[in-house]
């Protein structure tokens, strides 16, 4: 599983960083998503999936290939 973030779609809500703080953070300058781990560890996968589901702008997705 690979985490994909589209900074153009991101609205800076910060839900991802709250739910999966080891996988996502926010850019200090504009508040948009920053992916800390493109490939989350097994223990972080559930949080990463939750972050994708709750992202209000749809800026996050998962590449399962």
Convert the pLDDT of each residue in 5-18 to its tens digit. Answer: 999 999 999 999 99
- Pairing status of strand 24-26 against strand 33-35: antiparallel
- The tokens describing 8, both together, are 């153009």
- Assigned CATH for 2-63: 3.30.70.20
Q: Where does the chain show beta strands of DSSP type E?
A: 2-5, 24-26, 33-35, 60-63
Indicate whether 59 pLDDT > 90. Answer: yes
**Is the overall model pTM greater than 0.75, yes or no?**
yes
CA-based torsion, 9, 14, 17, 20: positive or negative: negative
| φ, ψ (nearest 5 deg) of residue 29 | -85, -40
């Amino acid at each position: 599983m690979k985490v994909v973030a589209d900074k153009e779609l991101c609205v800076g809500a910060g839900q991802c960083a709250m739910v999966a703080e080891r996988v996502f953070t926010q850019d200090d300058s504009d508040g948009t998503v920053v992916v800390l781990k493109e490939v989350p560890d097994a223990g972080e996968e559930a949080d990463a999936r939750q972050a994708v589901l709750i992202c209000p702008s749809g800026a996050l997705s998962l590449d399962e290939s």
